[in-house]
Amino acid sequence: MERGQDTRARLLDAAAEVFADYGPHHATVRLITRRAGVNPASVNYHFRSKETLYREVVRAAFREMAALEGAAAAEDADLPPAQRVRRFVAAMLGRLGDRDPHRRFMQLIAWETQFPTGALEDLEDTEMARHHAQAQAVVAPFFPDGTAPGVTLAAGLWLIGQCVIFNHVFQTLDRTAPGLAGDADQRDRLIDLVVGLALGGLGGQARRDSGADGPWRAWDRALPRPAAGTGRRWGP
């Protein structure tokens, strides 16, 4: 790693901890650069301001927590739908034993909830939108062509929730399934369980007789479709 890139990475790592501990308003450039072991002027050089650094920290924390890069493997439309579900779930649960990304992001969320800066709003059209689109693309093949985007988006958010919950209740699960944090085989079994339940839900609900008036089909008829010519199959 080149020197400039190394300094930037050290600033992001140190800032993530300092912002999580002190919040965006009480964290100082001096605290951040002291923890990173770099010159205070490096913040302005690499990020222009403490505020920009904070927003970049929130973006990076979300990317890591949501496993955006790993989940990209599920975007391959040539894969069978069940395999895409597995890749998505495996990306989100594969690092379940690494508690730091989740802890940092939740601490940042807590500060942002009490003292909003607009950093979360920045995510809505960038990383968060990509995360939602990834999940929506994974579940969409389980629904008939022409299904309203609102239905497939809701199903994608449901799939995300099936994975995220294990971060929130990790300690409870670890007490009944000890060793989950460090045992890759146990995590694979958990992934198999979640994938099996997800496929049961998606297959059982979405592939019912198209003439049946199930709950999601009634909602589907009531939702708007993308305007003709927009070229958008999925998305809100």
What pLDDT digit, counting tens, does each position of 109-162 carry? 999 999 999 998 888 888 999 999 999 999 999 988 888 999 999 999 999 999
> Quick one: which H or E segment has residue 189?
helix 184-206
Helix (H) and strand (E) counts in the chain: 13, 0
Put simply, whether the predicted model's pTM sits higher than 0.75 gets the answer yes
Whole-angstrom distance, CA of residue 71 vs CA of residue 32: 31
Q: What six digits make up the tokens of 121?
A: 């709003």
pLDDT at 233: 42
Span between the terminal Cα atoms of the chain, in Å: 39
CATH class of 58-222: mainly alpha
- Residue 65: the pLDDT is 82
| Look-up of token digits 């930037």 | 8
pLDDT tens-place string over residues 177-231: 777 767 888 888 899 999 999 999 887 665 555 555 566 777 788 887 766 544 4
Burial 209-230 (b: 16+ CB within 10 A, else e): eeeeeeebbeebeeeeeeeeee
- pLDDT of 8 > 90? The answer is yes
Q: Please tell me the CATH code under which domain 1-48 is placed.
A: 1.10.10.60
Question: Would you place residue 50 in the very low, low, confident or very high pLDDT band (cuts 50, 70, 90)?
Answer: very high
**70: pLDDT confidence band, cut at 50, 70 and 90?**
confident
Residue-range domain boundaries for the chain: 1-48, 58-222
